Amino acid sequence: MTDQKTTLLRGARILGGEPQDVLIEGGVIARVGRGLQAAGAEVVEAEGRVLLPGLVDLHTHLREPGREDSETVLTGTRAAAKGGFTAVHAMANTFPVADTAGVVEQVWRLGREYGYCDVRPVGAVTVGLEGKQLAELGAMHDSAAGVRVFSDDGKCVDDAVIMRRALEYVKAFDGVVAQHAQEPRLTEGAQMNEGRVSAELGLAGWPAVAEESIIARDVLLAAHVGSRVHICHLSTAGSVEIVRWAKSKGWNVTAEVTPHHLLLTDELVRSYDPVYKVNPPLRTEADVMALREALADGTIDCVATDHAPHPHEDKDCEWGAAAMGMVGLETALSVVQHTMVESGLLEWSQVADRMSHRPAAIGRLAGHGRPVAPGEPANLVLLDPAYRGGVDPAGFASRSANTPYEGRELPGRVTHTWLRGRATVVDGALK
């Protein structure tokens, strides 16, 4: 799985610092310094571009098995590599559901076989995502896939007893339950954020309280049983307050935010264009600002894409009939640069923390999210922050094109990605 080729990066700004040279040898970072020489090495002139550890996504829908018309492990991991990711966590809501060792091992093996990006399957918490009976969490952990993150994402583990048991049970192997916080009764038929815009548009509301009440319950449960809990795609200012409070108590709570919740608001739904339909829904400007601030101050630990590919026909229809979700792997870093770096909220070193170190730590993922230093695995991404360009889904490696950013100008571009020293992306193109 490693590449024996030697690569010399010249003038790369590690974590946005001063330009240095980086020598990659045998799949690891061999040396870091100025004026490095290596005979026979392939030289990449970084020309002041920014070098970060390969990005890690805690929340990716690869859709295989079952919905290969929207994405496969191959197309999804190619999209991931193009977006600068070296590891993704593949969500469990496939067909069949990833609730057995067999399914998670299949997904994991496909990822290894293709070699674009490490695929870390997420195991379902309950059988069939039905919230009734625990899936064989231990078997999934013990499998070759080594599952450490469990989630019924797409559905909330809404039964308090099942949630409590899951939180407790995974302690045996240092797993974590990633909760899709959505009180189901409060969101029956919900189509968009409940507020001024939903009132005008006549679309059934998805109230902030439906997310916040579950998060409040789950941080209390996690504290009670001494487990850790991870909150998926946190989307409201109120959720930020609850997580901030839980962390102030010293409870083991982590949270992620998606790029789209850092940028887009429910005002976009006025177009009734289902490309803006997503779950949890786009919220208000005040929520967006609170999420950015929380990601900056560490209340929210990390960015996760919730990359959710859907075939064209599932978005080329009326709002109510459309599927929820947006693709995000190939635009995540640009959105974070736009919303967090160019607004002065995060330094590049902190971007590395929020998009690589922290998600790898939450997922207990070895070999990723490591420092860019000698002896570390050469999982790296080189990006050109000066780049400006419009988003064109025709150029996506993903099989789906349901991006909310089509035609929008976003900064930055991934030029190179290395997975254990092997270049998966060179000059913006997949290898």
Residue ranges for the known binding site are 59, 61-63, 93, 153, 180, 233, 279, 306, 310
CA angle 191, 195, 200 (to 5 degrees): 80
Among 18, 35, 318, 407, binds other proteins (CB under 8 A): 318
Q: Which residue matches tokens 């000066």?
A: 386
- Cis peptide bond prior to 96, omega within 30° of 0: yes
Residue 265 corresponds to which tokens in the numbers above?
């608001």
Q: Judging by DSSP bridges, how do beta strands 409-419 and 422-426 pair with one another?
A: antiparallel
Piece of 244-252, 309-317, 332-340, 378-386 that binds other proteins (CB under 8 A)? 309-317
Nearer to other proteins, 319 or 387 (CB): 319
194 lines the binding site for other proteins (CB under 8 A)? yes
Contact between residue 175 and residue 145 where contact means Cβ atoms under 8 Å apart: no
Residue 155 Cβ vs other proteins, minimum distance, rounded to whole Å: 22
Residues annotated within the binding site for substrate are 61-63, 93, 279, 310
Instruction: Please tell me the distance from the alpha carbon of residue 107 to that of residue 407, in angstroms, as a whole number.
Output: 33
Using the Cα atoms of residue 398, residue 361, residue 17 and residue 348 in order, give the sign of their dihedral.
Answer: positive
Name residues contacting other proteins, limited to 350-409 (CB under 8 A): none
Residue 272 Cβ vs other proteins, minimum distance, rounded to whole Å: 3
Instruction: Please tell me the distance from the alpha carbon of residue 91 to that of residue 180, in angstroms, as a whole number.
Output: 11
113 lines the binding site for other proteins (CB under 8 A)? no
199 lines the binding site for other proteins (CB under 8 A)? yes
Residue 401 Cβ vs other proteins, minimum distance, rounded to whole Å: 16
184 lines the binding site for other proteins (CB under 8 A)? no
Contact between residue 303 and residue 85 where contact means Cβ atoms under 8 Å apart: no
**Which active-site residues does the annotation give?**
306
285 lines the binding site for other proteins (CB under 8 A)? no
Piece of 239-247, 264-272, 403-411, 413-421 that binds other proteins (CB under 8 A)? 264-272
Contact between residue 260 and residue 339 where contact means Cβ atoms under 8 Å apart: no
Amino acid at 217: R
186 lines the binding site for other proteins (CB under 8 A)? no
Residue 95 Cβ vs other proteins, minimum distance, rounded to whole Å: 19
197 lines the binding site for other proteins (CB under 8 A)? yes
Q: Residue 141, Cβ neighbours under 10 Å: how many? A: 20
Among 196, 249, 388, 431, binds other proteins (CB under 8 A): 196
Instruction: Please tell me the distance from the alpha carbon of residue 3 to that of residue 34, in angstroms, as a whole number.
Output: 24
Q: Sketch the per residue contact string, 203 through 232, with other proteins: x for CB under 8 A, - otherwise.
A: xxx-x-------------------------
Task: Give the total of residues touching other proteins (CB under 8 A).
Answer: 25
Residue 396 corresponds to which tokens in the numbers above?
């996506």
- Cis peptide bond prior to 53, omega within 30° of 0: no
Q: Which residue ranges make up the site for other proteins (CB under 8 A)?
A: 191, 194-205, 207, 270-273, 313, 316-321
